[in-house]
Amino acid sequence: MFEYLYKALTVWFIGFFPFFELFIAIPAGVSLKLDPVSTVIFCVAGNFFPVVLIDFGYNRLIRYERVKTWLDRRVSERMIQNVNRHGTWYLLVITPWIGVWAIAVTARILRMKRTQMAWGVLASLTIYAIVLVVMIHAGIDFFSRS
């Protein structure tokens, strides 16, 4: 039980940190012999947690009128409309490549709707994690047969 918890928390912890995120946490989970479902779940959970932290921090920071005014001057209404209209597709494709931390900050500054951002990032991370786990296991199976 403790061994499983150690492996799961290791994958979560690696997934949480910028630059490591999905692309290091998934291979780490596979190399720790964690089952594929647990690897995906804990990696995605660890990788998604910064979105919650950034959203919470943004909501606290925006309470200061000076910060709110400064951010409002840097964003046009047209950009906000485009982000809310097409932003989910952008999140689905680009989140793992740019990083969850950068995406969450950018989405909140561009005033993307909170639920739209959360579901887009969560879906993107889950899809990429599943694809990565399948590819790694397929590669391991292919090379272990030869």
Q: What is the pLDDT of residues 114-123, one digit of tens each?
A: 888 999 999 9
pTM, two decimals, is: 0.84
> In sequence order, what are the residues at sequence separation of 6 or more whose Cβ sits closer than 8 angstroms to the Cβ of residue 121?
48, 51, 91, 95, 100, 103, 104, 107
From 91, 104, 93, 100, select the one nearest 17 (Cα to Cα). Answer: 100
- Would you list the domain boundaries of the chain? 2-145
Confidence band of 146 (pLDDT split at 50, 70, 90) = low
Confidence band of 44 (pLDDT split at 50, 70, 90) = very high
Q: Is pLDDT of 127 > 90?
A: yes
From 119, 113, 122, select the one nearest 81 (Cα to Cα). Answer: 113
